């Protein structure tokens, strides 16, 4: 199945040339790139959140495979929906799904369902692709949408992702030992949690709330992030994906996190009375 773009020409420019120029305007060329296990990246229209997304993608070394976890805004499909095969299309080209890694993740959790419906109209993962495509001609993805954001589900999904990536790493090491090749077909993986922060509050209030959540991510505390979102009524739409990403990264040995950029929609619109916050964070 080829998944057609749902928000091209709406959340981002609709032609290859104009989209490439748009993304290029958000790239930070002088940032030192670091190896990372996961990132938090926003998913609003690029005119608003592109500067944050561009900064975080400019900060990390990009591998050949990306596990993309996003919130399900449409309510369609399974509670935890993984599309295990096919291609995703944007104006910049087509991206294959990593079928083997997708199958391995599903095999490790009974909560994850094979499903395409949740992905057809959802934007939270689609808007990540142009940034990766800007830098890489060839890569694969595993797309996951979360409707169920209970803590136990977030933890279960994170563990499943980490377990599948660990298994791939072991196979990679075995192939390297057998062939003597410095790199096998079993590539490294970056886990991308797609989320905007506080929605439609005054800029100062949004910043105060958002930094309570951001601090928990910087602390590498998935349960703390979950509690902060609940206790402080933070309307972070992708907190579930962020918690799952943190669980996975910690299981894979993460030791630090870095806030690359924080901004809000008022920086573009000039309206600071009702903003949406955006944070770009690297976990490594």
pLDDT in tens, 47-90: 999 999 999 999 999 999 999 999 999 999 999 999 999 999 99
Could you tell me the pTM of the whole model?
0.96
Helix (H, G, I), strand (E, B) or coil at 52: helix
Count the helices and strands in the chain (H runs, E runs): 10, 12
Judged by average pLDDT, the poorest of 1-5, 186-190, 239-243 is 186-190
For tokens 């949740």, what's the residue? 118
Indicate whether 240 pLDDT > 70: yes
Q: Does pLDDT of 182 surpass 90?
A: no
Task: Please tell me what DSSP assigns to residue 55.
Answer: H
Helix, strand or coil for residue 17?
A: helix
Domains observed in the chain: 2-283 (3.40.830.10)
Q: Residue 160 and residue 102: Cα distance in Å, rounded?
A: 10
pLDDT (0 to 100) of residue 186? 37
Assign 75 to helix, strand or coil: coil
Quote the CA–CA distance of 187 and 159 in Å, as a whole number.
19
Q: Which pLDDT does position 126 carry in this prediction?
A: 98
Q: Taking the alpha carbons of 42, 43, 46, 49 in that order, is the dihedral positive or negative?
A: negative
pLDDT recorded at residue 172: 82
Q: How confident is the model at residue 40 (pLDDT cuts 50, 70, 90)?
A: very high
- Residue 178: the pLDDT is 82
**What pLDDT score was predicted for residue 56?**
98
State the DSSP string of 125-165. Answer: TGGGHHHHHHH-SS-EEEEEEES---HHHHHHHHHHHHHHH
Q: Tell me the CB-side half-sphere exposure of residue 199, using CA atoms within 13 A.
A: 12
């Amino acid at each position: 199945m080829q998944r057609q773009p749902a928000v091209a020409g709406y959340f981002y420019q609709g032609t290859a040339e104009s989209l490439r120029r748009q993304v290029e305007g958000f790239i930070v060329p002088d940032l030192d790139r670091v190896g990372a296990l996961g990132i938090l990246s926003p998913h609003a229209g690029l005119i608003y959140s592109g500067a944050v997304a561009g900064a975080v993608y400019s900060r990390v070394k990009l591998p050949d495979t990306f596990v993309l976890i996003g919130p399900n805004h449409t309510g369609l499909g399974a509670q935890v929906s993984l599309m295990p095969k096919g291609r995703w299309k944007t104006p910049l080209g087509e991206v294959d799904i990593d079928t083997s890694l997708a199958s391995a993740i599903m095999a490790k959790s009974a909560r994850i369902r094979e499903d395409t419906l949740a992905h057809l109209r959802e934007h939270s993962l689609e808007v990540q692709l142009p940034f990766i495509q800007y830098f890489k001609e060839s890569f694969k993805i595993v797309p996951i949408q979360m409707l169920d954001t209970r803590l136990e589900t977030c933890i279960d999904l994170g563990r499943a992702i980490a377990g599948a990536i660990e298994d791939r790493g072991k196979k990679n090491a075995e192939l390297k030992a057998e062939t003597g090749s410095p790199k096998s077909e079993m590539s490294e993986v970056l886990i991308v949690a797609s989320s905007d922060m506080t929605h439609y509050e005054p800029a100062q209030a949004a910043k105060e709330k958002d930094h309570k959540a951001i601090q928990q991510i910087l602390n590498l505390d998935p349960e703390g992030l979950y509690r902060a979102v609940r206790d402080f009524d933070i309307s972070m739409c992708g907190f579930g994906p962020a918690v799952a990403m943190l669980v996975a990264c910690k299981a894979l040995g993460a030791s630090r996190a870095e806030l690359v950029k924080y901004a809000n929609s008022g920086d573009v619109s000039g309206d600071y009375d009702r903003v949406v916050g955006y944070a770009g964070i690297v976990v490594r």
